[in-house]
Structure 1
Amino acid sequence: MSQIFDRPKEIIDYCLKPLNLPKEDATYQEVYRRLEHVIKTYQVQMMKAKAPVAVDFSQMRTITINEDAHGHD
């Protein structure tokens, strides 16, 4: 089933879901804040260019990050 995400909150929630972090976690909140800023900035630029683009995030492959293997960067 294909889902279309067109709001920053929907996009961010979908992207962060595999990490299974508590939403109260300070790191989660910082990543959420940064992603929201990037998405909103990107949306503003697309509106200025009058070139909206639909992206189907549900077809993206899930990536598991092993922070222990990368020194908790």
Structure 2
Amino acid sequence: MEPMTRPQAIIEFCLAPLKLDPQSEATQEAMRRMEHVLKTYQAKIAQPVPVDFSKMPSLVINEAAFGYE
């Protein structure tokens, strides 16, 4: 996987497992807010920040501790 720098691509990749309705107002507002955060951060450091999800460590969730859903 190539590192991502476009805020929209990063957000879409992160939200994909949730299978949100892209047409819902709540989803569009959440995406708009996250895009604003990423663009503001990138502007403050004066360059796009590449995000490489292939280097992200796996998370193990202890379902027994949090309840099975």
Structure 1: gaps of 5 or more residues: 63-68
Q: How many residues align?
A: 61
Q: How big is the shift at 1:3?
A: 2.4
C-alpha separation in 2, matches of 1:9 and 1:15: 10
Identity score, percent: 46
Q: Residue 22 of structure 1 aligns to a residue in which SS? A: coil
Larger Rg computed on CA atoms: 2
Q: What RMSD, in angstroms, separates the aligned Cα atoms of the two structures? A: 2.6
Structure 2: gaps of 5 or more residues: 60-65
Does residue 55 of structure 2 align to residue 56 of structure 1? no
TM-score w.r.t. length of structure 1: 0.66
Large movers: runs of 4+ above 4 Å: none
TM-score w.r.t. length of structure 2: 0.69
